[in-house]
Amino acid sequence: GCPVIIFFGLYRGSNRYDIHFERLADVITLDRACRQQQLQHWAQRYAERLEHYTRSAPYNWFNFYDFWEET
């Protein structure tokens, strides 16, 4: 296995960015017996880190789906 590294680049204005690399895990292995629970754990860990950076720079995130499209 290999380390799982996550990356976030936050725009700070005037052509400046803060770059963050974090080790999410040394190795991710999924056992067949509890695969779904383990996937949920790692998805939650990633979501927590994404939330952290989203809160620190809320205007850096975009939604490319037309959320408000008329039906």
Q: How many domains does the chain have?
A: 1
Which is more confident, 11 or 65?
11
Q: Which domain holds residue 18?
A: 4-60
Q: What is the pTM of this model?
A: 0.78
15 assigned to some structural domain: yes
69 assigned to some structural domain: no
Sign of CA dihedral 10, 1, 48, 35: positive
What pLDDT is stored for residue 36 in this prediction? 95
46 assigned to some structural domain: yes
67 assigned to some structural domain: no
pLDDT in tens, 11-64: 999 999 999 999 999 999 999 999 999 999 999 999 999 999 999 999 888 777
What pLDDT is stored for residue 65 in this prediction? 75
Q: What is the DSSP string of 44-57?
A: HHHHHHHHHHHHHS
Pull the structure tokens for residue 35. 């695969």
68 assigned to some structural domain: no
What pLDDT is stored for residue 69 in this prediction? 72
27 assigned to some structural domain: yes
Judge contact between 5 and 21, C-beta under 8 A. Answer: yes
What pLDDT is stored for residue 50 in this prediction? 96
